[in-house]
Chain A
């Protein structure tokens, strides 16, 4: 009786693991108690000399850093591996070698402990991250996911009930930020540096296009804005362009991106009739975007929510949470360690229905 009780209580504490790209992360989540601990190691310094993420180096760093992070969150929560009731890891989408590190460690750990394991969809993690806040938004809501790897508008009607409303046809918005930043001579990853430069820029000097806003539709395209930035910089003297000119270009670039995102968010809210917008992903930290969405939301009577910054960027708390919800519904991996580098979000079903 006592043993059964312990197992039942322990069945809820879930270790989450995230290794899909250039962040190694671990977290502990327990229903009813919430997020117990989380830790993230950023690989920015590993990839900076290369000007972008090198997949093999990402994998090599994950396999060195993951287990210490797992130990760190266990210690922070004052428990050991035997207190885990399940293990959830990002199974996709992402870099195959990087995903395999988290899946190998996570699946094997669960096997060794005799507890269930589950591979989680990275984007579902992002969509559900706001549920970890003290006052989570209610369903349904429109989610805008904006990061270095993704640009998505999703109608979220419940866990596993996602409809993709729009997505980028080329670069992700964070990618456009990073590439344009590189063009302006800013160090990798340049997105935040570009945003800082843009704050010193003067409005009105350069005109940038708002791609795909002329016609109806919710898809995005950002490669044109990037190309436009190349041309504007060249006309302004290229590498000889002065600091103020660079700041003005950064301002115009960011303004075009932000305005495009706001236009698409407005359309998505109108199309769904949902009165709530949740913004997630690293670009969600951009101040200009937040200010513009707040202004629009205030006018339109739409509630705009952001998870706190550490839940916006890649993290394992969201993986632990999504995993806990699905593990509780009885979903489990078999003994095979499987990852899905390409995994369409709309293949997901509500917990237990798969």
Chain B
């Protein structure tokens, strides 16, 4: 099995994980606006704990978004720089999938992952646990107002992530009886990114370092004049 270093800085949480075979070494901090200042120290810490050097890894994974624009670029930029230095490919992983994976590993089978996108919107994605207990997309990821999110057919959904804290009422109204639980405290952690990246790498989804770019979902960021 592969050796993967994963970075996740799309939310207030900043984390780094090193996954070797089925074992994960992870450092987590919740430190808004300090991701850039802390992430490389966390990288050094997990490498030291695992007794590995960067060139001994197989790939660098990072949470490619959606999430905080600046956070996404910190993870992408650091992943690009480290991957170029170590001669590694990069595996971009959906931040919403990593969030859903956190719920899956706690037992959820179907997850409605939501992050607060500000401006009255959420980043949204529905995921189901596959046979290997991995969060697999059950629809397209989107940025939209909470009253407009797409809830797939059937019931047994668990709402997960800070989007449920920011827009809980509107999201609950939208999901209705399909919802069995809400876990707004769940976050996308690097360990989940690493686990998803391991199978993505095996599926051949790694890209060269320059392909390690964010997926913002929100594309309209400025108005053209007149």
Question: Cβ of B23 < 8 Å from any Cβ of A?
Answer: no
- Which one of A67, A100, A106, A112 lies within 8 Å of B70 (CB-CB)? A100
B120 proximal to A (CB < 8 A): no
Chain A binding surface SS class: helix
Q: Residue on B with the closest CB to A69? A: B210
- B41–A109 contact, CB under 8 A? no
Docked CA distance A338–B41 (Å): 13
Q: Contact check, B40 vs A107: say whether CB atoms are below 8 A apart.
A: yes
Interface 9-mer from A56-64, A124-132, A202-210, A235-243: A56-64
Closest to B35 in A: A337
- What is the bound-complex CA distance between A223 and B40, given in angstroms? 44
Chain B residue at smallest Cβ distance from A103: B36
Task: Verify if A134 is at the interface (C-beta below 8 Å from B).
Answer: no
* Contact residues, A82-133 vs B (CB, 8 A): 96-97, 100-101, 103-113
Given the complex of chains A and B, what is the CA–CA distance between A111 and B70 in angstroms?
Answer: 21
With A57-B221, A68-B210 in contact, do A109 and B82 touch (Cβ < 8 Å)? yes
Q: Shortest Cβ distance from B56 into chain A, in angstroms?
A: 12
Q: Is B80 an interface residue (CB 8 A)?
A: yes
Q: List B78-114 residues whose CB lies under 8 Å from chain A.
A: 78-87
B158: Cβ under 8 A from any A Cβ? no
Asked if A108 contacts B216 (CB within 8 A), the reply is no
- Whether A336 contacts B82 by the Cβ 8 Å rule is no
Set of chain B residues within 8 Å of A336, measured between Cβ atoms = 36-38, 40-41
Interface residues of B in 48-101 (CB under 8 A from A): 54, 69-70, 73-74, 76-87
Provide the main secondary structure of the chain B interface: helix
A128 and B43 alpha carbons, distance in the complex (Å): 35
B40/A108 in contact, CB under 8 A: yes
Chain B, 207-226, CB within 8 A of any chain A CB: 209-210, 213-214, 216, 221-225
Structural contact, A104 and B81, CB atoms closer than 8 A: yes
Interfacial chain B residues near A96, Cβ < 8 Å: 70
Given known A97-B69, A337-B37, contact A104–B77 (CB-CB < 8 A): yes
A57 contact set on B, CB distance < 8 A: 221-222
Contacting B81 at CB < 8 Å: which of A50, A68, A100, A107? A107
Assuming the A-B contacts A104-B78, A105-B77, A111-B81, are A338 and B222 also in contact, with contact meaning beta carbons closer than 8 angstroms in the complex? no
Q: Range of interface residues on chain B?
A: 35 or more
- Flag if A101 contacts B225 (CB, 8 Å): no
Residue of B nearest to A333 (CB): B40
Asked if B224 and A113 make an inter-chain contact with CB atoms under 8 angstroms apart, the answer reads no
A109: B residues at CB distance < 8 A: 81-82, 84-85
Q: Do the beta carbons of A105 and B221 come within 8 Å of each other?
A: no
**B residues in contact with A70, CB < 8 Å:** 84
Task: Name the residue on A nearest B44 (C-beta).
Answer: A335
Q: A100-B73, A109-B82, A338-B36 are in contact. Are A54 and B210 (CB under 8 A)?
A: no
Q: Check: B39 CB closer than 8 A to any chain A CB.
A: yes
- Cα A338 to Cα B39 with chains together (Å): 11
Which of A60, A71, A111 lies in contact with B40, CB distance below 8 A?
A: A111
Is A67 within 8 A of B85, CB to CB? no
Cβ contact of A104, chosen from B44, B74, B87, cutoff 8 A:
B74
Contact (Cβ within 8 A) A56 B69? yes
Give chain B residues whose Cβ lies under 8 Å from the Cβ of A56.
69, 221-222
**A81 — which chain B residues lie within 8 A by C-beta?**
84-85, 87
Jot down 14 A-B pairs with beta carbons below 8 A, ordered by A: A49-B224, A51-B225, A57-B222, A59-B73, A60-B69, A64-B213, A66-B80, A67-B210, A111-B82, A112-B84, A112-B86, A336-B40, A337-B40, A338-B37
In the A-B complex, the 6 residue pairs with the closest CB atoms: A112-B85, A104-B77, A108-B81, A109-B81, A67-B210, A337-B36
What is the interface of chain B, defined by CB distance below 8 A to chain A? 36-41, 43-44, 54, 69-70, 73-74, 76-87, 209-210, 213-214, 216, 221-225
